[in-house]
Amino acid sequence: MFKSGFIAILGRPNVGKSTFFNAIIGDKISIVANKPQTTRNRITGIKNFPDAQLIFLDTPGMHNPKTPLNRAMVQAARDTIGDADALLVMVEADANIGPHDIFLIEALASVKAPVFLAINKIDRVEKPSLLPLIDQYSKLYNFSGIFPICALKGAGHDELLSCLKEALPEGPQLFPDDIATDATERFIAGEFIREQIMLLTQQEIPYASAVTIDAFKEDEEKNLIRISATISVEKESQKAIMIGKKGAMLKKIGTQARLSMENLFGAKVFLELFVRVKKDWTSSDRMLREFGLIK
């Protein structure tokens, strides 16, 4: 008997969804930064077993959105709920139940698929403090299982995966054994650039930035990929910061992103970056559609 299905990973921003996703898949596919809006699109990762294929869907953080960009991100997460055969809600062991957690649980009201709860970052708390938290969440929703885990260190992963596998329906293998994601290399390249923007810039810059891959050309004989990308920001002042003094910031972003790409793609990467101003793009449905953030 072979099982297969889609498992949506849901949670408020910065709870550790992408860290868990990458750890399970065994490759860095979803970008990670300690800032909201790091994940903007739904990303697929595939975990194979001899008797099952688990297809994980990493989603943007669930929160009560105030801007068109945030609404688009939350809608991407909401749409995933209906597509999943099982749901994995992630919360933090060292945080009280907050408005974002309640917002997410309310979104599960009509869900018929099994819903599991992962309490992440258990390495930050003493074990006795988990019991009251488990009790509080048990009263909020009838979870199919509650699992204390550490996404970063792997604690609790095996037991959680075993239960998720059991919850999936019988079905065929949906993806070949040798792929870890259905995301294109172009998409991943853009995400790696955006990750470095999240890590290296401050204040509003990370949230006002979008990345477009203009060219992606592979030279198999030379084991070389040539990539040209444009970073869009909302203001001239943001463009100046993104470029930096004598181009220093843009060069740093490009160097770090290139190293991530080379590590995943297994090829040398030549990366060329440009910066342009797209005034108030985060408030424009047309621009959000152009950047692939809404349909």
95: domain CATH number? Answer: 3.40.50.300
- Domain presence at residue 173: no
Q: Structure tokens of 160? A: 């959680």
Q: Please list the pLDDT of the chain residue by residue as tens digits (295 residues).
A: 899 999 999 998 889 999 999 999 998 999 898 887 788 888 999 999 999 999 999 998 888 778 898 888 888 888 888 889 999 999 999 888 988 888 889 989 889 999 999 999 999 999 888 999 999 999 999 999 999 999 999 999 999 999 999 999 999 999 999 899 999 999 999 999 999 999 999 989 999 999 999 999 999 999 999 999 999 999 999 999 999 999 999 999 999 999 999 999 999 999 999 999 999 999 999 999 999 998 7
Residues 14 and 117 in one domain: yes
Residues 104 and 232 in one domain: no
- Domain presence at residue 176: no
- Judged by DSSP in three states, 181 sits in coil
Going by C-beta distance under 8 Å and a sequence separation of 6 or more, which residues neighbour residue 219? Answer: 225, 226
How many whole angstroms separate alpha carbon 72 and alpha carbon 42? 11
- Judged by DSSP in three states, 66 sits in coil
Residues 134 and 161 in one domain: yes
- How many separate domains does the chain show? 2
How many whole angstroms separate alpha carbon 199 and alpha carbon 193? 10
How many whole angstroms separate alpha carbon 98 and alpha carbon 83? 26
Residues 44 and 90 in one domain: yes
Residues 132 and 245 in one domain: no
Residues 204 and 117 in one domain: no
Residues 21 and 107 in one domain: yes
- Domain presence at residue 197: yes
Instruction: Supply the pLDDT for residue 236.
Output: 97
HEC-encoded secondary structure of 132-148 = HHHHHHHHHCCCCEEEE
Residues 202 and 153 in one domain: no
- Domain presence at residue 174: no
167, 193, 227 - which closes a domain:
167
- Domain presence at residue 73: yes
- Domain presence at residue 135: yes
Residues 83 and 210 in one domain: no
HEC-encoded secondary structure of 184-233 = CHHHHHHHHHHHHHHHHCCCCHHHHCEEEEEEEEEECCCCEEEEEEEEEE
Residues 163 and 52 in one domain: yes
How many whole angstroms separate alpha carbon 90 and alpha carbon 65? 19
- Domain presence at residue 175: no
- Judged by DSSP in three states, 261 sits in helix
Residues 104 and 201 in one domain: no
| 106: phi then psi, degrees, rounded to nearest 5 | -65, -30
How many whole angstroms separate alpha carbon 207 and alpha carbon 205? 6
Q: What range does the domain containing 220 cover?
A: 185-290
Residues 160 and 266 in one domain: no
- Domain presence at residue 146: yes
**CATH code for position 194:** 3.30.300.20
